[in-house]
Amino acid sequence: MAKKETLTRSSMMECKACRCPVGEAVRKGEPPVLPFRIDGGNNDWETFCPQCAVYVRMPKEPARFVGFYFPVACLVCRTISVAVGAHVCSACRSRHIIYLPPKIAA
């Protein structure tokens, strides 16, 4: 019988666009995916994975999201996050990052 994975409170969040889990401890052995939360109006916060935030949600309001936003994977801490305003990891501030492309719809 397979052992159930234990999920933390932060890993129970999911991306509003692609429904993938986001949080500090998604699954054992996988890199953490930092959620990107956007105020959708009326105190309604929308949670997105970094790739969907940049490539799906932000183009809907180009006047609101002006500047540098890019989904990155850090080679130092393995975190996937959104680089905001600088070419560094949002978690550890390392410059050793890889820019991530949009997700392919399945």
- What digits encode the pLDDT tens for the residues 35-82? 999 998 788 899 999 999 999 999 999 999 999 999 999 999 999 999
What pTM was estimated for this model as a whole? Answer: 0.81
Burial (CB count <10 Å: 0-12, 13-18, 19+), residue 97: buried
Q: How far is CA 11 from CA 26, 28, 53, 66, in A?
A: 5, 11, 17, 29
- What digits encode the pLDDT tens for the residues 18-33? 998 898 766 778 889 9
